[in-house]
Amino acid sequence: MKRFKWSVENILKNLLRIFLFVLPWQTILITRESFLNGVKWEYGTLGFYATEILLWLIFFVFIAWVLKHKNFNIKISNLKLSKDRIFLFFILLFVLWSFASILWSFDKDLALQQSLHIMEALVLFLMIFIGPLNIRQLGYWFVLGSVPVILLAISQFVFQTTWDFKWLGLSEHTAWLPGASIVASDSIGRLLRSYGSFSHPNIMGGYMAMVFLWSIILFSMRVFGNRYGYLFQYILSTLIITGLFLNFSRAALGVSVFCILILMLYSFYNKKGFFSSFSCAYIVLLFVSFVIVFLPILETRFSVSSQAEIVSVTERSSSIVESWEIFQDNKWIGVGIGNYTLASYQKDPTRPGWEYQPVHNIPLLIVSEIGIIGFSLLMLVILSCLIFLHGSAERMKKRKDWLINNMSFVFMSVLLLFFYITLALFDHYLFSSYIGLLMTGLYSGLSCRYILNNVHR
């Protein structure tokens, strides 16, 4: 066994591993609870997460690592525009605009917290993107961190209840009590959807969908290469697909099915590698088996014939109309970051408190909260990132036609982008919640790191 060497880089690596493993757990110190019409206003709660404190600790170590390993001999003559600097400049502008929206927000404390969470997501992105852990290590610890969550989700589905435990950020939900997220119909009764360690099954669904995608990428990179590694791979695949199904998130299951179909088509085209191996066939067969086993529940979720599903779809449709009205009233600067639900309440204060939720569409939510200006800045961040990655790829390949000669790289890049956009179009948690923003930062960092990893190969 190698003796641990106390260096800034090793400390940073181990702290990042711990953070990726404990990321799903929602331990929080609540500093303010708010209520709308007598119901707890979830999106108005203020507090500090345990992982938030760990993240800032890692960030300070990261700064020390950067100062030690990077050359910061900056001269005026060297201050030229470059693609990476333009990318970082637009990131800074977007963060500053989020903080600026505090000035016109209804609830300035809430806007400050949400702005800090956005900054933390971008900090995590940078640490994943340029930090000392390679893509194999990052993906491994991210996927491994899902195992305790999956085991908890399985127990929740078996016993049809979740358990209250504040030290892990868990709340109690029971299938037969109002307020729980369920699948219900005359044929199957009331079934509790697994929450895992999250506040809602849809958040667990998005997390598990990301874990599912990155587990396939890890397997394709042969992270588990020896005899016992392959056995662990099969066990891990089984657990991940189980966790993906037990929350019964339509968006998560839908985008996962699409990824499997696209990867199967790619395997026929490529005719080599993981996508044409027995391991890939095992994942596909296991996924199909779960579809067959849970078919009655899936039919209820996707047919929109039960009362619970009709109410869900109706609420989502009406929230889209409402978001457009809120946007029309505040086109350029928005209502303030994190203040969408409060704007909804002020527009119509007569509704039940639990109805005040962010619109289930991230582009509409962003443009409503930070306006056309903020949304445009975010688009510039994404565009400058793509231009930076393209420039890095061209520089490494040293030819202009590298896209044509690297179709697998192009394929995975498009797949990773489409995957996130699909989740973003059907729910709000990836932008409206602390854990969702961290998932966004982590996923973006992993994707960019993987793209550059493919370029270097």
| Backbone φ and ψ of 177, nearest 5° | -105, 145
Which residue did the predictor score with more confidence, 243 or 301? 243
Q: What is the dihedral of CA 41, 37, 355, 183, to 10 degrees?
A: 80
DSSP string, 63-97: HHHHHHHS-----GGG----HHHHHHHHHHHHHHH
Q: What is the pLDDT of residue 279?
A: 76
Residue 184 region by backbone torsions, left for phi larger than 0, else alpha for psi between -120 and 50, else beta: beta
Considering only 34-43, 90-99, 105-114, which range has the smallest mean pLDDT?
34-43
pLDDT tens digits for range 5-33? 778 899 999 999 999 999 999 999 999 99
Is residue 236 within 8 Å of residue 223, measured between CB atoms? Answer: no
Distance linking the first and last C-alpha atoms of the chain: 30
Give the ranges where 398-406 is alpha helix by DSSP (H).
402-405
Residue for token pair 């027995």: 278
Q: What percent of the chain has pLDDT over 70?
A: 86
- Which whole-number Å values give the CA distances from 216 to 211, 273, 372, 424, in the listed order? 9, 12, 37, 21
pLDDT band at 166 (very low <50, low <70, confident <90, very high): confident
Residue 271 region by backbone torsions, left for phi larger than 0, else alpha for psi between -120 and 50, else beta: left
pLDDT surpasses 50 at 167: yes
pLDDT tens digits for range 52-82? 999 999 999 999 998 887 644 444 444 466 7
Q: What is the pLDDT of residue 198?
A: 95
Q: Work out the number of other CB atoms within 10 angstroms of the CB of residue 153.
A: 28
pLDDT band at 422 (very low <50, low <70, confident <90, very high): very high
Which residue did the predictor score with more confidence, 402 or 418? 418
Q: What is the pLDDT of residue 19?
A: 97
DSSP 8-state secondary structure symbol assigned to residue 133:
S
Q: What is the pLDDT of residue 305?
A: 65
pLDDT band at 406 (very low <50, low <70, confident <90, very high): low
Compute the distance between CA of residue 145 and CA of residue 17 in angstroms, rounded to an integer.
9
pLDDT surpasses 80 at 270: no
Mean pLDDT of 135-153: 95
Would strands 35-36 and 39-40 be described as parallel, antiparallel, or unpaired?
antiparallel
Q: What is the pLDDT of residue 281?
A: 82
Q: Which of 170, 169, 127, 189 is nearest to 161 (CA)?
A: 170
pLDDT surpasses 90 at 177: no
Q: What is the pLDDT of residue 212?
A: 94
Reported as type and span, the H/E element at residue 352 is: none
Considering only 41-55, 252-266, 290-304, 397-411, which range has the smallest mean pLDDT?
397-411
Q: What is the mean pLDDT of the chain?
A: 86
Q: Which residues contact 327 (CB under 8 A, 6 or more apart)?
A: 334, 364, 367, 368
pLDDT tens digits for range 322-338? 899 999 988 999 999 99
Model pTM score? 0.92
Compute the distance between CA of residue 102 and CA of residue 113 in angstroms, rounded to an integer.
10
